[in-house]
Structures are given as structure tokens and as C-alpha cells.
């Protein structure tokens, strides 16, 4: 195996590091605008933001931020004017003096930027792979997310597609073993490469699994027209609707998933979604038929529930039985056990 170079990844502020790792260019733009308005904006901050833009693949913006850092402190000569392209007279006349430590940090960030800006894609891939192969969860850590960010900005340099290799390294087995780490990898990949269908399905499904409902809705809403024709994406949309207590929307999404699976000749998948839709119908009926019980007592709520339960049992042909308490004695625990057993039998009858 060829020697793997050690790339000089910068130490960015934690907030910027998290924002860039998420792969969210819009959030980065908002953060940059806020940073410029703050009182601490200077060459160091501009260079840190330049590295953030570089990792997000915003190359023109990254270069402009380096030039801006130079204009904020011309004495550092961060962008040497070898050809006299801008007169010294245009530079600010009252630039604040930097202490030696801050000046050294700025020059270091500039040097790191120049090396990373022109680093071959294969070098980024090899260093990322070296860290991820022994322990795939390392791909969710800041250095590897930074490397992947740099790599995504120069995919055209790779000799083979990136997607199959990543899917093999972080596939179904890994997702099941550590959903949180898998989501930290697949979500930024989905945002950076919106056409990558596998990344979108994994990120949306994991967001739902981890109860990050707003993130799941965002990922589904950003799906391409082609991805909207995938039965599995509609299944995630239906399950999200159920988690949001919107059973009618879930039924409609599963209906469309069944239609698409059938049109694609996948009868087994269509039957899976049909079963999920049948199970959701109970929730839809419960919400539609339950009377308004605002201000109702506990007994009234229990009566309404048991009434619906009896109607469902009759329709499903399930006989509900319970062991009565002794005459004249209320037995709440026995009745609660009866309701649990009845609900389980109804689910099986679905």
C-alpha cells in the first residue's frame, strides 16, 4: 500500500467544527454572516471560516475569505503580492498590531489552507480509509468528517465512484449496531450529495429511529423527484406521519408505496406495506371515532376506550373475555389486564 500522507487538519472552534461536520452550507452561511457582525472579527476568524468553507466544498468563498484575512492584517502578507497586483496604498493604514502568538497562528492556518486546497483527492481518501477501516465509527469523528468534506469537493479526481465503497464500509450491519454513529455519517453525506439515494434513505430512516422527527422531515422534503418514486422513501414518510400522530397522512403514503411497489413488480414489498397500512388503520379509526373528552373524568375516558375496543373486536370476530371480580367488588387490575390482552389479540387479528 502506498505511503499515506498526514494531512494538516486545522483546529477549528467547536461550534464551527460541528456546523461544518453536519454538511449544512446554508447554516454555515448564516453563521458566517453573524461572525462578521460580531466584534471579534479579524484575520484569525476569517482564516478559520476559510477552512470551514473549504471542507464544505465552497472553494471560491474559501479563497475569498483568505484574501479578506490578508486585507484585515496586511502586515502578515498572508497573500503575497508577487506581481504587484494591488498597490500598498489600497491597504488599510491603521491595521491593529497582532501579538506574536496570534500572528503565528494565522500564518499556520494559511499554510494549512494552501496545502489542503490543492491536496489530491486520493490522499484524502487514503487517510480517511486508514482511520475508518479498523473502527468504522471513527468516520463520525471530527477529523474524518473534515477529510470526507475535503474529499467531496474533488470527487472528479477519484479513479472510481466513492458511493459503493462507503456503502460497503458503513452498511446495514453497522447501522443496526450503532444507529447514532451511522446517522452522524449519513446525514452530512446526504446534505452534501443530495442525489445519493442510499444516503438519503439511511439518514431519514435513522433520524426517525432516533426520534429526530424534524430532521427526518427535512431530509424527506429535500428528496429529488426521482427519489420520490421509491417505495421505501414513502414508507419512511408514512412512519414519520404515524410518529407525528397523523395516521391519515400515513395511510395515504403507504397507499402510494403499495402502488409503486406493485408497478415495479415487487409483490413481497407491496404486501409488507399493505400489512403496515392495515395496522395503521386501527389508529386512524381510533382518532376519528373517539369522542371529544376534554374535561372528561377518568371513568368517561375508560368507557370510551372500552366501547371502541368492543366494536373493533366484534368486527374482527375476536371474543373478548375477562375474569370478573367478586360480586360488588371493583377490580381495576383485572380490568387493566383484560384491556392489555384484548389489545394484543386485536393486533394479531389485524
- Predicted pLDDT at 279: 86
d(CA 67, CA 50): 10
SS3 306: helix
**Confidence check: pLDDT of 203 > 80:** yes
d(CA 62, CA 50): 4
Most confident stretch, 84-98, 211-225, 280-294, 332-346 = 211-225
Section 126-133 average pLDDT: 94
- Predicted pLDDT at 316: 55
- Predicted pLDDT at 350: 46
- Predicted pLDDT at 75: 86
- Predicted pLDDT at 272: 95
Distances from the Cα of 241 to the Cα of 203, 208, 231, 234, 298, angstroms: 17, 10, 15, 10, 28
Of the chain, the percentage scoring pLDDT greater than 70 comes to: 74
- Predicted pLDDT at 68: 94
**Confidence check: pLDDT of 87 > 60:** no
Is 170 within 8 Å of 181 (Cβ atoms)? no
Find the range with the poorest average confidence among 29-38, 90-99, 176-185.
Answer: 90-99
Start and end residues for every CATH 1.25.40.10 domain found in the chain: 164-289
Query: Which residues touch 193 (CB under 8 Å, ≥6 apart)?
Result: 152, 163, 199
What band does 86 get if pLDDT is binned at 50, 70 and 90? low
Section 132-139 average pLDDT: 94
Q: Mean pLDDT for the chain?
A: 84
- Predicted pLDDT at 339: 61
Task: Specify the length of the chain in residues.
Answer: 350
Is 178 within 8 Å of 83 (Cβ atoms)? no
Section 344-348 average pLDDT: 52
Residue with cell 373524568: 297
What band does 302 get if pLDDT is binned at 50, 70 and 90? low
**Confidence check: pLDDT of 166 > 80:** yes
What band does 91 get if pLDDT is binned at 50, 70 and 90? very low
Is 91 within 8 Å of 74 (Cβ atoms)? yes
Q: Of 141, 112, 140, nearest to 50 (Cα)?
A: 112
Section 112-125 average pLDDT: 93
**Confidence check: pLDDT of 94 > 60:** no
- Predicted pLDDT at 41: 93
What band does 100 get if pLDDT is binned at 50, 70 and 90? confident
The CATH classification number of 164-289 equals 1.25.40.10
Q: Which three cell numbers stand for residue 34?
A: 453573524
**Confidence check: pLDDT of 236 > 90:** yes
Higher pLDDT, 42 or 347: 42
pTM over 0.85: no
- Predicted pLDDT at 47: 96
Q: What is the 3-state secondary structure (H, E, C) of 64-79?
A: HHHHHHHHHCHHHCCC
d(CA 72, CA 77): 10
What band does 138 get if pLDDT is binned at 50, 70 and 90? very high
Of the chain, the percentage scoring pLDDT greater than 90 comes to: 59
d(CA 98, CA 115): 24
Q: Which three cell numbers stand for residue 217?
A: 422531515
Amino acid at each position: 500500500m502506498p505511503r499515506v500522507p498526514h494531512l494538516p487538519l486545522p483546529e477549528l472552534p467547536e461550534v464551527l467544527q460541528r456546523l461544518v461536520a453536519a454538511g449544512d452550507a446554508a447554516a454555515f452561511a448564516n453563521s458566517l454572516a453573524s461572525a462578521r457582525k460580531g466584534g471579534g472579527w479579524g484575520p484569525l476568524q476569517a482564516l478559520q471560516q476559510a477552512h470551514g468553507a473549504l471542507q464544505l466544498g465552497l472553494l471560491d468563498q474559501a479563497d475569498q475569505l483568505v484574501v479578506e484575512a490578508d486585507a484585515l492584517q496586511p502586515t502578515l502578507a498572508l497573500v503575497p503580492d508577487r506581481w504587484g497586483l494591488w498597490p500598498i496604498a489600497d491597504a488599510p493604514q491603521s491595521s491593529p498590531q497582532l501579538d506574536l502568538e496570534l500572528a503565528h497562528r494565522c500564518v499556520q492556518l494559511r499554510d494549512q489552507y494552501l496545502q489542503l486546497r490543492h491536496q489530491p483527492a486520493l490522499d484524502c481518501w487514503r487517510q480517511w480509509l486508514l482511520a475508518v477501516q479498523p473502527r468504522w465509527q471513527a468516520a463520525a469523528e471530527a477529523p474524518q468528517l473534515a477529510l470526507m468534506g475535503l474529499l467531496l469537493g474533488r470527487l472528479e479526481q477519484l479513479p472510481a465512484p466513492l458511493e459503493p465503497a462507503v456503502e460497503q464500509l458503513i452498511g446495514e450491519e453497522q447501522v443496526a449496531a450503532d444507529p447514532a454513529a451511522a446517522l452522524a455519517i449519513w446525514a452530512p453525506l446526504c446534505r452534501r450529495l443530495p442525489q445519493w439515494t442510499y444516503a438519503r434513505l439511511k439518514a431519514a430512516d435513522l433520524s426517525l429511529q432516533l426520534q429526530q422527527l424534524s430532521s427526518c422531515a427535512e431530509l424527506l422534503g429535500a428528496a429529488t423527484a426521482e427519489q420520490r418514486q421509491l417505495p421505501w422513501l414513502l414508507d419512511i414518510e408514512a412512519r414519520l406521519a404515524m410518529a407525528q400522530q397523523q395516521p391519515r397522512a400515513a395511510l395515504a403514503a403507504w397507499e402510494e408505496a403499495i402502488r409503486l411497489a406493485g408497478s415495479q413488480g415487487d409483490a413481497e414489498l407491496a404486501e409488507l406495506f399493505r400489512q403496515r397500512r392495515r395496522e395503521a388503520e386501527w389508529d386512524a379509526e381510533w382518532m376519528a371515532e373517539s369522542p371529544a373528552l376534554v374535561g372528561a373524568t377518568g371513568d368517561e375516558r375508560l368507557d370510551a376506550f372500552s366501547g371502541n375496543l368492543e366494536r373493533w373486536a366484534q368486527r374482527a370476530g375476536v371474543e373478548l373475555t375477562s375474569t370478573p371480580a367478586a360480586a360488588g367488588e371493583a377490580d381495576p387490575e383485572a380490568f387493566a389486564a383484560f384491556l392489555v390482552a384484548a389489545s394484543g389479540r386485536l393486533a394479531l387479528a389485524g
